[in-house]
Structure 1
Amino acid sequence: MRSIIYLCIGIFFGIVLFKSEAASWFRIYEMFQFGSFHMYGIIGSAVGLGIVVTQFIKRYKVKSFYGDNITILPKDKSFKRYMYGGIIFGLGWALAGACPGPMFVLLGAGYLPIFIVIISAILGTFLYGVLKAKLPH
């Protein structure tokens, strides 16, 4: 039953991404050219909502669907890690025209060349898993 709920939430999220044009290559291009506020508004509202939900979970000790307490651990304060990761993520986003969420939305909408990007993302994730122990902390 939970899988059906997750599937429905995912489908709804995909429809919202597509209809809001967050999965549109042209909107992403506009954002990187500083030509429109559209994507910045979507990203900003997502960050704001994430802050509110995270604080709600911390203050009210919200439980997961499985009944376990949700624990949000503090993040490592390493600036270099986040700077390098952000640069790599941003370059990939600019080159591919999609971040990980909308990649699957675009595939579902019939944009088949995005399949190359999905395969590359999977290979990159696998490579990170292989090299993770060798990377500096």
Structure 2
Amino acid sequence: MRSIIFLGIGILFGITLFKSEAASWFRIYEMFQFHSFHMYGIIGSAVTLGLISTQLIKKYKIKSFYGDPIHISPKDKNLRRYIFGGIIFGLGWALAGACPGPMFVLLGAGYLPIIVVIASAIIGTFLYGILKHKLPH
């Protein structure tokens, strides 16, 4: 039953991304050219909602769907890894025209060339899993 709920939430999220044009290559291009506030508004709203949700989870000790406590661990303070990871993420986003969420939305909307991007993301994630222990901390 929970899987059906999660599937429904995912479908609703995908529709929201598509209808808000967050999956639009043109909107992403406008953002990287600093020609439009549209995407910054969407991202800013998501960050704000994430901050509020995280604080509420901490304050009220909200539990997961399974009844387990949600542990929010402190972030690593190593700034170099965030800068390096952010640059790689941003370059991939700019080149592909989609970050991980909208990739699947674009596939669902029938944009089949995004399969190459999804396959590349999966391969990159797999390689990171293999090489993670060899990377500097």
Corresponding residue of 1:109: 109
SS of the residue 1:76 aligns to? coil
Which 4+ stretches in 1 moved above 3 angstroms? Answer: none
Corresponding residue of 2:11: 11
Distance 2:67 2:57 in 1: 14
Corresponding residue of 1:119: 119
Distance 1:36 1:24 in 2: 13
Distance 2:69 2:50 in 1: 18
- Residue identity opposite 1:12 in structure 2: L
With structure 2 as the length reference, what TM-score do the two structures score?
A: 0.99
Pairs within 5 Å for 1:19-98:
19-98=19-98
Which digits, 9 at most, give the CA deviation of each residue in 1:58-104, with x for residues without a partner? 00000001100101010110110100000000000000000000000
Deviation at 1:43, TM superposition (A): 0.2
> How many residues get paired?
137
CA RMSD of aligned residues (A): 0.3
Identity of matched residues, %: 81
Unaligned runs of 5+ in 2: none
Deviation at 1:24, TM superposition (A): 0.2
Deviation at 1:111, TM superposition (A): 0.3
- Residue identity opposite 2:28 in structure 1: I
Distance 1:44 1:64 in 2: 25
